[in-house]
Amino acid sequence: MLTDEMELVSVDDHLIEHSMVWQDRLPSKYLELGPRIVETTERTTNFMGGSAEAGSEVWQYEGRIYHQIGLGATAGRPTEEINTDPVRFDQMRPGFYNSKARLEDMDLDGVKVQLCFPSFARFAGQTFLDGQDKKLSLLCVQAYNDFVLEEWCAAGPDRFIPMIILPLWDPGLAAMEMRRSYDKGARAVAFVENPAPLGLPSFHTDHWDPVFNVAEETGLVMCTHFGTSSKPPITAEDAPIAVRIALYGCNLMYATVDLLYSQVLHKHPQLKFALSEGGIGWIPYIVENADYIWERHWYHSKLNRDIRPSELFRKHFWGCFIEDEHGLAARHEIGVDRIMWEGDYPHSDGPWPNARQHVADMMKDVPDEEVQQIVEGNARKLFSFPRTA
Amino acid sequence: MLTDEMELVSVDDHLIEHSMVWQDRLPSKYLELGPRIVETTERTTNFMGGSAEAGSEVWQYEGRIYHQIGLGATAGRPTEEINTDPVRFDQMRPGFYNSKARLEDMDLDGVKVQLCFPSFARFAGQTFLDGQDKKLSLLCVQAYNDFVLEEWCAAGPDRFIPMIILPLWDPGLAAMEMRRSYDKGARAVAFVENPAPLGLPSFHTDHWDPVFNVAEETGLVMCTHFGTSSKPPITAEDAPIAVRIALYGCNLMYATVDLLYSQVLHKHPQLKFALSEGGIGWIPYIVENADYIWERHWYHSKLNRDIRPSELFRKHFWGCFIEDEHGLAARHEIGVDRIMWEGDYPHSDGPWPNARQHVADMMKDVPDEEVQQIVEGNARKLFSFPRTA
């Protein structure tokens, strides 16, 4: 069971970039084109189906409009008030976008450490792939990373695991940005679950080797949040949004098999992937099936024959869950040392402000030493983020 | 454990249509345009990536060429000979396309009953959606069904569960074809996992009500084989074929959540879906997660609030597996009465000719009465296919 000495380390949360993240950091000639908050003058719609009334606060970047989606800013709101409409900063709790206030919300929640993905920048920084001016895109990526490393995490160096984004359009630049950020304290990279749907070379090329080489050298963990291929699991255009929300975990199944059957893990034996927000209950099925299909189809599919996919998985992957009764029951099949917990603050699927009670309830029949691994130890080890004295 | 009295009822196998299925049945004016086997005169490629040498046997239908994919005709072949190239009839075991010979192969395998999906027609008859002349398409669907009901199953009325295909482009015609075939002995319908990718109205419309109404009235089971949306789970164009093969189960996860969050099961309380070839180990995760997301997103997604998705699943869905250690261990979470076994003959992922030993090994720690349900009882009950005296 969960004991008082255990500190909750959540490995999937979200920060909402405040309005000055880029305006504070971009060179003056880019302030107009770079990301800034504007009020809309007419109704607009976004890719999640939400619509914005005139007068909404939205991001403007190179003239394009990006909504702040309501599903990303819901902690503490009742189910009936959760929707995909955009939200204004004055409708949000300060903890959504201010890291000092975030610390207070974490204290309320009983959470010691968070690992925060971006929001406007998208979970792996895909927004800056949209940029027409790639010089500006690179400055935007660096500005975000400097914001995370120097501002967001500085409010609590023992409370936030520093995670950066990459200039996804150029693996050489990405490798340089990883080194630059690692030297400033980065421990994790928000990386894409699958580059191919983004129009980038797939994991079945050597395109990403510069990125993976630096990840191996530095120990930076590649955190692939579901949805970072920018390809949602849509069954039908007229299906309720909840269908894709419930199926997003399939994106991580795709990522897992795609990587297991690629050469990536054979070429980069030190690489570490953390699969974010997809739960863990699917892992035994996918990994067992990956072995089964590998045994039958390795020849015509030209798969590596030396290492079983299940062995690769146990070496290279970590999963996490908010609530996953089946996954927790199957923890010994998955590997207790591969499982972490997440609070998903301030999204609609997290337990805030009751994380500690929520975790205690889930874990009441799990032996203490396994709870310690899942809620704290595995994450601290994976991200090289030990307790401070 | 598996005992000698238990008969194996496999709920997912495949028949390969012999060259005369349509030529024997179509009106003479359609013999030229209708499906027939021809030899190619130049190299061609197909959607699975296989290529056909000149001189290969392929289907021609309204001038279009369809390969006979090698993965569909592999029983008994070693891994090194399994590939996506097309096969000629003289390279196949007669049991692939001849139901009298099939019975001998089933006897070798220790399998009493099979439920066979089509091959050239595709697993839910999607091939006839391609037809320009929909009068011909309907005749082709009816010819296939007559072939199944009058020829294929006639070789062993107690050995084959009769399963038909539908004219998917017209639910009214489909309903009529279901009634016509039911009167001739049909017990199951090979239906699509998701109509939307086929360009047809989704499950979130009332378009399919005529089909579902007849299914409820007759008890015909809707068997949705993975892949029947004709949308394979492709991660990247250059990914090995094995990636999509290992991920096809995700298509059934899509189908499950799409149906659970639709109005279909609320409007049609007697409807029965058998999910084919996707395994069962994913079911606890997907169903638990469907409940979790439903609780948080029912309001903005306008989902039915009366019946929990997990309750709907337990009432309307059946799953099956070839080999699924994790799923079998989780059988009480899934529901032992919801699980069936499949042999997948003559595809590359089945155990032929060792099915009985294969099943015995998998089931050695499962209580006899549960084995009986899984390998025989559940299928006989679901498909109204009792033992004969």
pLDDT of residue A74: 80
Pairwise CB contact (< 8 Å): A246 & B202: no
Query: What's the gap in Å between the CA of A236 and the closest CA on chain B?
Result: 6
With a cut of 70, say whether residue A194 has pLDDT above it: yes
Q: Which two tokens stand for residue B100?
A: 């009298």
pLDDT above 70 covers a percentage of chain A that reads: 99
Which tokens is A161 given?
């695991």
Give the residue on B whose Cα is nearest the Cα of A303: B240
Q: What is the pairing mode between strands A273-276 and A317-321?
A: parallel
Q: What residues of B are in contact with residue A196 (Cβ under 8 Å)?
A: 235-237, 239
pLDDT digits (tens, 9 = 90+) for B349-376: 889 999 999 999 999 999 999 999 999 9
Looking at residue B49, its pLDDT comes to 64
Pick from A11, A18, A26: nearest CA to A163: A11
List Cα–Cα distances, A10 to A373, A374, B31, B263, in angstroms.
Answer: 12, 10, 66, 36
Which helix or strand (DSSP H or E) is residue A146 part of? helix A134-146
Choice among A300-309, B51-60, B192-201, B265-274 with the minimum mean pLDDT: B51-60
End-to-end CA distance of chain A: 25
Is A61 in contact with A44 (CB distance < 8 Å)? no
H helices present in chain B, as ranges: 99-109, 134-146, 171-183, 209-218, 241-260, 264-267, 283-301, 309-316, 325-329, 331-334, 355-362, 368-372, 378-382
Q: Across the interface, which of A237, A253, A300 has its CB nearest the CB of B250?
A: A253
Q: Which amino acid is at A97?
A: Y
Q: Identity (one letter) of the amino acid at B132?
A: Q
Q: Inspect the interface and report whether the beta carbons of A326 and B327 lie closer than 8 Å.
A: no
Chain B, 328 to 387: residues with Cβ < 8 Å from chain A are 329-330, 333, 348-349
Average pLDDT value for residue range B89-101: 95
B74 band by pLDDT with thresholds 50, 70 and 90: confident
How many Cβ contacts (< 8 angstroms) between chains A and B?
Answer: 205
Tokens at B17, concatenated: 């249509």
Work out the average pLDDT over A251-269: 98
* Kind plus residue range of the DSSP H or E element containing A183: helix A171-183
Determine phi and psi for B161, rounding to 5 degrees.
-80, 120
C-alpha distances out from residue B14 to A350, B17, B73, B99, Å: 44, 9, 9, 11
Q: How far is B173 from chain A (nearest CA, A)?
A: 24
Taking the CA atoms of residue A373, residue A377, residue A381 and residue A385 in that order, the dihedral angle to the nearest 10 degrees is: 160
d(CA B343, CA B355): 7
Task: Select the residue of B241, B253, B333 nearest A301 (Cβ to Cβ).
Answer: B241
Which of A241, A249, A303 has the CB atom closest to B301's CB atom? Answer: A241
Say which residues have a Cβ less than 8 Å from residue B164's Cβ, sequence separation at least 6: B144, B145, B148, B149, B177, B178, B181, B186, B188, B189, B190
Share of chain A above pLDDT 90, in %: 88
Q: How confident is the model at residue A48 (pLDDT cuts 50, 70, 90)?
A: low
pTM: 0.97
pLDDT score recorded for residue A85: 80
Number of alpha carbons in the 13 Å side-chain half-sphere of residue A253: 32
Give chain B's mean pLDDT.
95
DSSP codes of every residue in B167-186: -TT-HHHHHHHHHHHHHTT-
Q: Give, for A309, the enclosing helix (H) or strand (E).
A: helix A309-316
**For position B44, what pLDDT does the model report?**
80
Average pLDDT over residues B324-343: 98
Give all strands of the β-sheet with A163-164 in edge-to-edge order: A111-117, A8-14, A339-341, A317-321, A273-276, A221-225, A188-191, A163-164
Residue of A242, A249, A248, A259 lying closest to A280 (CA atoms): A249
Q: Are A31 and A39 in contact (CB under 8 A)?
A: no
In chain B, the residue whose alpha carbon lies closest to the alpha carbon of A293 is B246
Distance CA B273, CA B382 (A): 10
How far, in Å, CA of A359 to CA of A343, rounded? 10
Which of B196, B239, B288 is opposite residue A325, by nearest beta carbon?
B288
Q: What average pLDDT score do residues B3-20 get?
A: 97
Residue B324: which of B285, B375, B279, B376 has the closest Cα? B279
**For residue range A206-234, what is the model confidence (pLDDT) as tens digits?**
999 999 999 999 999 999 999 999 999 99
- In this prediction, residues A65-83 reach a mean pLDDT of 82
Residue A202 CA to residue A195 CA, distance in Å, equals 6
Asked if residue A296 lies in contact with residue A244, where contact means CB atoms within 8 angstroms, the answer is: no
Task: Kindly report, residue by residue over B114-165, the tens digit of the pLDDT.
Answer: 999 999 999 999 999 999 999 999 999 999 999 999 999 999 999 999 999 9
Distance from C-alpha of A163 to C-alpha of A180, rounded to nearest angstrom: 13
List CB contacts (< 8 A) between B310 and chain A. Answer: none
pLDDT at residue B214, rounded to an integer: 98
- Strand A36-39 relative to strand A57-61: parallel, antiparallel, unpaired? antiparallel
Q: Which amino acid is at B98?
A: N
Region B16-41 average pLDDT = 96
Residues 42-101 of A with CB under 8 A from B: 79-80, 82-84
Q: Could you report the predicted ipTM of this complex, rounded to two decimals? A: 0.96
d(CA B195, CA B170): 12
Inspect the interface and report whether the beta carbons of B349 and A293 lie closer than 8 Å: yes
How does residue B48 score in pLDDT terms, banded at 50, 70 and 90?
low
SS3 call for A22: coil
CA distance to A247, A260, A367, B121, B349, per residue, from A290 (Å): 19, 8, 30, 28, 12
Residue ranges of E strands in chain A:
8-14, 36-39, 44-45, 51-52, 57-61, 64-66, 111-117, 163-164, 188-191, 221-225, 273-276, 317-321, 339-341
Whether the pLDDT of residue A162 is over 70: the answer is: yes
